[in-house]
Amino acid sequence: LPLTLLEADDTDEVLVVEMGMNHPGEIAPLCEIAKPQIGIITNIGHAHIEFMGSKEAIAEEKGALARSLPEVGTLLITAGCEFAEYFSSRSSARSIPVGNGRGVIRAESLRTSGEGSFFDLVIDGERNSGVHLKVAGRHMVNNALLAAGAGWVLGLSPDEISRGLEVAPLTGGRLRCFERGGITIYDDTYNANPDSMRAAIGVVADLPEVNGNGRTVVLGVMGELGRFSEDMHFQVGKHAAQHGLQVVSVGAEAAGIAEGARQAGASMVEHFDKYEDAASWLRETLSAGDAVLFKGSRQAAVERVMNEVFPQTTN
């Protein structure tokens, strides 16, 4: 964060910085440095729970951002977040709830597909119809709404915000969708935790089954889960199986995913300790018309499997 701030110059009007953390006490010092006027808290999930111990502790740590905002500042929070009232009560800034179908800023008439989402953007009662967000996943709509909220606070019109959302570029490894040989690939390899795993699995699960074509998820280990790791890997595999997906787990520490899928009755389950073996199996198994998701924490290197199977791709 300090390096990002130092890169700013007189031509910059707005600076967007991430207050990253994985241990208690890390966000407050970053807020002291950046002194934000607008704060966005996307969600409270299970990421970093190994070092934090509980979702309540994660909320307390992320709440440092809410507490740091000045009275003239703005806090944007997900309307459906179980800690939304907690954050609002801890901040002297104005709080704006944001959410799909709820909140001052919301999406209505939401329609999702494997290629993105269409919705009407409503900001403080003003509706902009037919916004097309070119990234799959209902959770991405909520992220877009939080960004829309920041734009609104900064003075952009709903029309400008809608146009901006439609042309926003995707960063690599975050549900990037592409096709090779008639196979639809979702590259979500940047990172993973139990909540983002479920969200990405939902994207593939929502795809229509056509002529028996396969829907496969290739999942690697999720880091920083500590004593919760075994159960959370098992639950992710179970979740994928319950949504009718074929499951491939990669890496010794991800074996619990396959076990969860197997016990939940998945139609096809495979586990590979080595990414080369997973890539070889996928090359022989996938065919035109199939859809496949690649996802795991950075340490899982699931993108190596993807790039072995589809060598034309780059992250």
Q: What is the DSSP string of 154-192?
A: TT--HHHHHHHHHHPPPPTTSSEEEEETTEEEEEE-S--
What's the confidence (pLDDT) of residue 135? Answer: 93
What's the confidence (pLDDT) of residue 302? Answer: 95
Task: Please report which residue ranges of the chain form alpha helices under DSSP H.
Answer: 2-7, 27-34, 49-52, 55-68, 84-90, 138-153, 158-167, 194-205, 229-242, 255-263, 275-285, 302-309
CA angle 138, 282, 229 (to 5 degrees): 55
pLDDT of 217 above 90: yes
The strand pairing partners of 97, in sequence order, are 77
pLDDT one-digit tens code per residue, 96-131? 999 867 789 999 999 999 989 999 999 999 999 999
What's the confidence (pLDDT) of residue 212? Answer: 78
Rounded Cα distance, 199 and 191, in Å: 13
What's the confidence (pLDDT) of residue 209? Answer: 83
pLDDT one-digit tens code per residue, 138-164? 999 999 999 999 999 999 999 999 999
Question: 0.85 exceeded by the pTM?
Answer: yes
What's the confidence (pLDDT) of residue 313? Answer: 46
Q: Choose the CATH number for 2-167 among 3.40.250.10, 3.40.1190.10, 3.40.1350.10, 2.30.250.10.
A: 3.40.1190.10
pLDDT one-digit tens code per residue, 237-247? 999 999 999 99
| pLDDT > 70 fraction of the chain, expressed in percent and rounded | 98
Worst-scoring range by mean pLDDT, 10-19, 104-113, 149-158, 167-176? Answer: 167-176
Token pair belonging to 173: 């490894």
Rounded Cα distance, 186 and 248, in Å: 14
37: Cβ contacts below 8 Å, ≥ 6 apart: 69, 70, 72, 73, 74
- Looking at residue 227, the DSSP 8-state letter turns out to be G
How many whole angstroms from its chain centre is CA 260?
Answer: 22
- Phi and psi angles of residue 170, each rounded to the nearest 5 degrees, phi first: -90, 145
Average pLDDT value over all residues in the chain:
94
Q: What homologous superfamily does CATH list for 176-309? A: Mur ligase, C-terminal domain (3.90.190.20)
pLDDT one-digit tens code per residue, 184-215? 999 999 999 999 999 999 999 999 888 778 99
Residue 198, CB-side half-sphere exposure with 13 Å CA sphere? 13
144: Cβ contacts below 8 Å, ≥ 6 apart: 133, 165, 168
pLDDT of 315 above 60: no
Token pair belonging to 244: 């009718």
pLDDT one-digit tens code per residue, 42-60? 999 998 888 899 999 999 9
Rounded Cα distance, 185 and 219, in Å: 13
Rounded Cα distance, 208 and 271, in Å: 25
The residue extents of the domains of the chain are: 2-167, 176-309
162: Cβ contacts below 8 Å, ≥ 6 apart: 121, 128, 131
Rounded Cα distance, 61 and 3, in Å: 22
pLDDT one-digit tens code per residue, 254-284? 999 999 999 999 999 999 999 999 999 999 9
Token look-up 């989402």 returns: 117
What's the confidence (pLDDT) of residue 172? Answer: 83
